[in-house]
């Protein structure tokens, strides 16, 4: 795209996005988004559904700007609870909770939250630029992916889940398998058969991610903390500064850049690439780091990279929706709904027929990110103060929010019960020193992997070689094997050394 | 004096309020908000159709018609919720025909589709088979010839097993004897994602139409009684000589068993009135939908014929779940 | 890590059990063909992978500290015997064979206590029961009563609770909870009791 054209688009976009009305709706959107991101359970999809009727009364631009603001606002909010109380509200915040929460326990919640916000803002800016300048070619790139390629990407994702683990590799592998099995509970879309449901209709659509995450992370953490007699309060007596130190910044900016590119690229894939962004970034940072064993104990790279990745992915996931009318996830499907309510049919013609809407929305995404940083940075002080509430009371509040959050999803009390079961299971995992993160990843990626495997086999008429014949697929599988080998061999050597020492 | 009669009046009012009315009478219905259950997630095709109707009905009756999304299990959860709701005239379901005429034939549903109280038709989807230009065919007949010469080579993506979009390709295969590979997806957006680069070649949904207009896909025919106003040059299946291979995808409104018939009639008349308005026509056209006019009795009969036709296709194509 | 061997052994047993259960439940799922892999393909593969991983871990645990097996063995034997009895003999007596899971679960918990002593049972019970109560009470008893029940049970889970402080906190939470979720967000949850739930049958007249 020529420089003049880009300039023209940008100025059009700014003129739309900077109108008083649209600025206002942008602000409302990110504000609501942050609020629901912080509240466990209620997610952006549910909120957008609630507000969809209200958007009737707005202009199309205002409506979409607000809805978009809710979406990436929720990303910021979700990281907040992940860091503060180990409650990831969205798939993308799971990874943030790993090191972010540990940083909070060491009294460094402030820097964690700050780097998270700053990294997200950088990622949002770069992603928005990418959309402005390269939306069509990026879309074409995404279109190159066939089911076989998606399958291999998922396999790579699963291997990354094992790589991410800081404890025993064998246990991590087992957790991944277990997670995948749990993810299979429900209706098998390809055949309509139900699996592992025992005839309970509430299980026909599987157990929701939020339920598993809140049980395994949130509830388990509460039980563990309440039982820990030696526990210091969540914030050790000296809270060291709210802002990141110069050292923090120096260590963070490379992961932020790397995470942005990883997440940005993976987010374009309509088939579910976005969810991989933060995991891939975490695995990458851990591999590159001179001190990989410190990951999982509060390394700031483990927050900076994934947070940037997931915000970049959130922004670029708009691309297939804007250019082709294909939603990458449930939130984008909502956005399409929002467009159609205003009589705008999403598809390739939106860019040409409604340029003010198209470019206005894209520019407002950047403005929304800016608003979020301005909103969230001062809030850090308030959040950290909240941590000073005695844990005996905080735990009760967290439990309540988890319960009502889960109930708010589908008004099904059975889901609250499932969460209780996962809470128990999560606590058992804590006692067994098994990490829940690989299980969650297996849970997310397993069913996806199966869908793509079957689709690829169907299209190739039963020829399994297709996974090796397509260059993209082969590349992913090779990377997966290498990553696995890099992780396993040192362990085998270590185990051998230990055996020799005995 | 006044005080006593006031107390008497108050007493009567309290007593009247304390005795629950069994059901509302058609004359004062609706006197409180009506719940419209949509058995799918918000933002989906059904939801998008239901909302203009909800808005129009709210305006027409002066009472809120509130959309409540109860998605899950392919529409079963919302249908079950309506089936078990109180037939007081304040709960109805806005549903595609698949929930009533296809799903119950494939699995055991917690509702008997023939017991729902018919209210009105609210829309038929107007779309047809599209094909990817890479195949090289431009008309429906060319596509059939290609498929006959290359059995099993063409692939068709549906929104899922047991959906009306799958029935469409099975009906076509049944009536013309061609062999096209059916690939189930998780929703039409998922299928469109593979159609655009040509990983699969055919689909039959409304979300492809913007791409047809943009020249990326070719529309071969229309699966409806009339041609689409947006594509006046595309013939219908009947015009092409393939009769009874049409599998309509149609939306309608129903009440739980025991729903008062006079309220159903009142609602039906109002829906017909709204369907004839220019505003609703435009909004439906934006959604590629046409609204046929039927009375509640005709609707019930239509469901029967639809169910019978779908049964035939299901049997011939050996579609099975569970 | 203090109980490394015990943890490995217990985790291994957990995985192996889950895998075996999955294999059993999924035994009838069809395998399909190469072109159309069936419902059972992935569950089958995964179940076996899980079982194998579990066995590896059990081995790791035993190799590191064989004492572990000895301490866990009686529990394993007893619970498997009871479970097998219930599983095969259950239908004979007239109860569902699903009851066999009960001795398995109890056996697991006992084994955990043996292998990893110092488990915090009180908070585990409190939090779990509190959540369950929330689920079964909310629809019938309304938000206020449910909150009182759930939060108080949770508070009972830790000896640190100071009751005076707690009740003030409870009042605050009630206001916050009802205000945010029902009044502000408009969730369809009753605030006050609507009916007596069936599990409180003794309160029904």
Closest chain A residue to B64, measured at CA: A53
Q: SS3 breakdown of chain B: % helix, strand, coil, rounded to 5?
A: 45, 15, 40
List, as ranges, residues 96-155 from C with C-beta within 8 Å of A. 112, 116, 119-120, 122-124, 126-128, 130-132, 134-136, 138-139, 147, 150-151, 154-155
Cβ distance of C46 and A395 shorter than 8 Å: no
The confidence band for C195, taking pLDDT boundaries of 50, 70 and 90, is confident
Q: Which of A281-290, A363-372, B240-249 has the lowest mean pLDDT?
A: B240-249
The confidence band for A498, taking pLDDT boundaries of 50, 70 and 90, is low
Q: Is residue C118 pLDDT above 80, yes or no?
A: no
The confidence band for B303, taking pLDDT boundaries of 50, 70 and 90, is very high
Measure A226 CA to nearest chain B CA, in Å.
37
Measure B111 CA to nearest chain A CA, in Å.
13
Measure A192 CA to nearest chain B CA, in Å.
5
Q: Which chains touch B (3 or more CB pairs under 8 A)?
A: A
* CB nearest to A143's CB, from B74, B196, B207: B196
Which chain C residues are Cβ-neighbours of A51 within 8 angstroms? none
Report residue B270 as tokens: 């109002």
Cβ distance of C124 and A420 shorter than 8 Å: no
List, as ranges, residues 257-316 from A with C-beta within 8 Å of B. 270-271
In this predicted structure, what is the pLDDT of residue A176?
Answer: 94
The confidence band for A175, taking pLDDT boundaries of 50, 70 and 90, is very high
Among A343-347, B118-122, C34-38, the range of highest mean pLDDT: B118-122
Closest chain A residue to C122, measured at CA: A227
In this predicted structure, what is the pLDDT of residue B15?
Answer: 44
Which chain B residues are Cβ-neighbours of A52 within 8 angstroms? 42-43, 51
Surface-to-core class of residue B215, CB atoms within 10 Å of its CB (0-12 exposed, 13-18 middle, 19+ buried): exposed
- C-alpha dihedral, A339 to A343 to A344 to A347, nearest 10°: 100
Quickly tell me which residue has 């087992």 as its tokens: A174
Higher pLDDT, C61 or A149: A149
Sign of CA dihedral C92, C94, C98, C100: negative
> What is the CA B207 to chain-centroid distance, rounded?
15
Cβ distance of A201 and B196 shorter than 8 Å: no
* CB nearest to B183's CB, from A144, A333, A458: A458
The confidence band for B14, taking pLDDT boundaries of 50, 70 and 90, is very low
Q: Is residue A80 pLDDT above 80, yes or no?
A: yes
In this predicted structure, what is the pLDDT of residue B154?
Answer: 92
Mean pLDDT of C59-69: 77
| Interchain CB contact of B209 with A (< 8 Å) | yes
B251-269 per-position pLDDT tens digit: 999 999 999 988 999 999 9
Q: Which of B63, B65, B61 is nearest to B93 (CA)?
A: B65
Mean pLDDT of B296-316: 90
Closest chain C residue to A197, measured at CA: C25
Surface-to-core class of residue A191, CB atoms within 10 Å of its CB (0-12 exposed, 13-18 middle, 19+ buried): buried
Cβ distance of A201 and B194 shorter than 8 Å: no
The confidence band for A497, taking pLDDT boundaries of 50, 70 and 90, is low
* CB nearest to A52's CB, from B42, B197, B213: B42
Q: Is residue A236 pLDDT above 60, yes or no?
A: no
Sign of CA dihedral C61, C63, C67, C70: positive
* CB nearest to A417's CB, from C135, C157, C158: C135
In this predicted structure, what is the pLDDT of residue A232?
Answer: 52
The confidence band for A2, taking pLDDT boundaries of 50, 70 and 90, is low
Mean pLDDT taken over chain C: 82
| Interchain CB contact of C5 with A (< 8 Å) | no
Which chain B residues are Cβ-neighbours of A270 within 8 angstroms? 189, 193
Which chain A residues are Cβ-neighbours of C15 within 8 angstroms? 174, 177-178
Closest chain C residue to A179, measured at CA: C46
List, as ranges, residues 156-185 from C with C-beta within 8 Å of A. 157-158, 160-162, 165-166, 169, 173, 177, 181, 185
Peptide linkage before A121 cis (omega within 30 of 0): no
Q: Is residue A122 pLDDT above 90, yes or no?
A: yes
Mean pLDDT taken over chain A: 85
Among A37-51, A307-321, C55-69, the range of highest mean pLDDT: A307-321
| Interchain CB contact of A144 with B (< 8 Å) | yes
The DSSP string of A302-322 is: HHHHHHHHHHHHHHHTHHHHH
Q: Is residue B2 pLDDT above 50, yes or no?
A: no
In this predicted structure, what is the pLDDT of residue C97?
Answer: 65
């Amino acid at each position: 795209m020529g420089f003049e054209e880009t300039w023209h688009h940008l100025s059009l976009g700014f003129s739309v996005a900077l109108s008083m009305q649209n600025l206002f709706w942008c602000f409302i959107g990110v504000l609501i988004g942050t609020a629901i991101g912080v509240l466990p359970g209620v997610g952006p999809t549910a909120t957008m559904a609630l507000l969809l009727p209200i958007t009737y009364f707005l202009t199309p631009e205002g409506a979409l700007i607000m809805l978009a603001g809710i979406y990436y606002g929720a990303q910021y909010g979700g990281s907040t609870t992940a860091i503060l109380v180990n409650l990831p509200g969205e798939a993308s915040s799971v990874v943030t909770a790993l090191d972010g929460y540990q940083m909070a326990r060491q009294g460094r919640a402030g820097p964690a939250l700050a780097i998270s916000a700053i990294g997200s803002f950088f990622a949002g800016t770069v992603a928005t630029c990418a959309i402005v300048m390269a939306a069509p070619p990026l879309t074409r790139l995404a279109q190159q992916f066939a089911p076989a390629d998606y399958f291999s990407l998922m396999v790579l994702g699963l291997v990354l889940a094992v790589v991410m683990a800081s404890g025993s590799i064998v246990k991590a592998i087992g957790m991944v398998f277990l997670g995948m099995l749990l993810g299979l509970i429900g209706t098998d879309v390809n055949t309509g058969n139900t699996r592992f449901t025992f005839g309970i209709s509430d299980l026909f659509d599987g157990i929701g991610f939020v339920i598993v995450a809140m049980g395994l992370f949130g509830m388990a953490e509460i039980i563990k903390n309440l039982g820990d007699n030696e526990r210091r309060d969540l914030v050790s007596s000296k809270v060291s500064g709210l802002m990141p130190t110069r050292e923090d910044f120096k260590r963070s900016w490379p992961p932020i850049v790397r995470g942005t590119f990883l997440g940005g690229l993976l987010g374009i894939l309509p088939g579910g690439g976005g969810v991989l962004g933060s995991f891939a970034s975490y695995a990458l940072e851990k591999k590159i780091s001179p001190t990989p064993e410190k990951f999982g104990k509060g390394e700031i790279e483990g927050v900076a990279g994934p947070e940037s990745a997931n915000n970049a992915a959130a922004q670029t996931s708009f691309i297939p929706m804007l250019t082709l009318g294909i939603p990458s996830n449930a939130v984008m499907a909502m956005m399409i709904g929002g467009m159609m309510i205003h009589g705008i049919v999403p598809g390739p013609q939106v860019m040409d027929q409604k340029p003010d809407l198209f470019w206005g929305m894209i520019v407002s995404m950047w403005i929304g990110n800016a608003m979020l940083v301005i909103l969230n940075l001062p809030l850090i002080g308030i959040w950290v103060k909240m941590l000073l509430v005695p844990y005996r009371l905080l735990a009760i509040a967290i439990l309540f929010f988890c319960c009502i959050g889960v109930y708010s999803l589908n008004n099904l009390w059975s889901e609250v019960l499932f969460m209780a079961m996962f809470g128990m299971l999560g606590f058992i995992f804590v006692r067994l020193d098994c990490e829940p993160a690989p299980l969650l990843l297996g849970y997310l990626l397993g069913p996806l992997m199966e869908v793509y495997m079957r689709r690829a086999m169907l299209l190739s008429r039963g020829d399994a070689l297709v996974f090796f014949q397509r260059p993209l697929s082969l590349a992913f599988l090779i990377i997966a094997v290498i990553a696995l080998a890099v992780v396993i061999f040192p362990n085998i050597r270590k185990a051998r050394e230990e055996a020799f020492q005995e | 004096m006044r005080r006593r009669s006031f107390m008497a009046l108050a007493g009567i009012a309290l007593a009247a309020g304390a005795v629950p009315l069994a059901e509302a009478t058609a004359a004062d219905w609706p006197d409180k908000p009506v719940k419209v259950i949509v058995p799918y997630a918000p933002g989906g095709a059904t939801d998008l159709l239901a909302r203009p109707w909800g808005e129009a009905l709210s305006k027409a009756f002066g009472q809120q018609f509130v959309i409540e999304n109860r998605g899950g299990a392919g529409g079963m959860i919302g249908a079950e919720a309506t089936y078990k709701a109180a037939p007081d005239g304040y709960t109805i379901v806005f549903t595609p025909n698949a929930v009533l005429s296809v799903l119950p034939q494939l699995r055991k549903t917690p509702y008997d589709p023939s017991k729902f109280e018919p209210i009105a038709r609210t829309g038929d989807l107007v779309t047809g088979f599209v094909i990817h230009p890479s195949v090289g065919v431009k008309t429906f007949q060319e596509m059939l010839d290609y498929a006959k010469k290359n059995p099993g080579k063409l692939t068709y993506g549906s929104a899922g097993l047991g959906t009306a979009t799958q029935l469409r390709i099975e009906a076509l295969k049944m009536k013309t004897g061609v062999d096209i590979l059916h690939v189930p997806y998780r929703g039409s957006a998922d299928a469109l994602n593979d159609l655009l680069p040509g990983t699969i070649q055919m689909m039959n949904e409304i979300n492809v139409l913007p791409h047809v207009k943009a020249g990326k896909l070719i529309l071969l025919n229309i699966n409806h009684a009339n041609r689409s106003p947006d594509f006046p040059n595309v013939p219908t299946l009947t015009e092409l000589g393939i009769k009874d291979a049409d599998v309509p995808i149609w939306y309608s409104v129903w009440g739980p068993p025991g729903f008062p018939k006079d309220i159903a009639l009142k609602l039906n008349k109002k829906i017909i009135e709204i369907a004839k308005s220019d505003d609703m026509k435009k909004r439906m056209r934006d959604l590629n939908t046409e609204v046929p006019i039927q009375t509640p009795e005709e609707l019930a009969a239509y469901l029967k014929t639809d169910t019978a036709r779908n049964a035939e296709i299901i049997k011939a194509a050996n579609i099975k779940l569970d | 890590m203090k109980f490394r061997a015990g943890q490995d052994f217990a985790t291994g047993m957990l995985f192996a059990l889950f895998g075996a259960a999955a294999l059993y439940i999924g035994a009838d799922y069809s395998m399909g063909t190469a072109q159309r892999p069936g419902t059972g393909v992935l569950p089958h593969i995964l179940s076996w992978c899980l079982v194998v991983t579990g066995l590896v871990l059990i081995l790791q645990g035993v190799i590191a500290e064989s004492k572990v097996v000895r301490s866990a063995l009686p529990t394993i034997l007893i619970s498997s015997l009871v479970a097998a009895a219930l599983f095969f003999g259950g239908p004979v007596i007239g109860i569902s064979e699903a009851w066999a899971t009960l001795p398995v679960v109890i056996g697991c918990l006992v084994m955990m206590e043996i292998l990893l002593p110092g488990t915090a049972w009180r908070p585990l019970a409190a939090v779990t029961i509190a959540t369950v109560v929330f689920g079964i009470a909310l629809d019938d008893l309304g938000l206020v009563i449910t909150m009182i029940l759930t939060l108080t049970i949770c508070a009972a889970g830790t000896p640190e609770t100071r009751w005076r402080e707690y009740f003030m906190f409870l009042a605050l939470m009630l206001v916050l909870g009802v205000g945010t979720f029902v009044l502000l967000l408009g969730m369809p949850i009753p605030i006050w009791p609507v009916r007596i739930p069936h599990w409180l049958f003794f309160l029904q007249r």
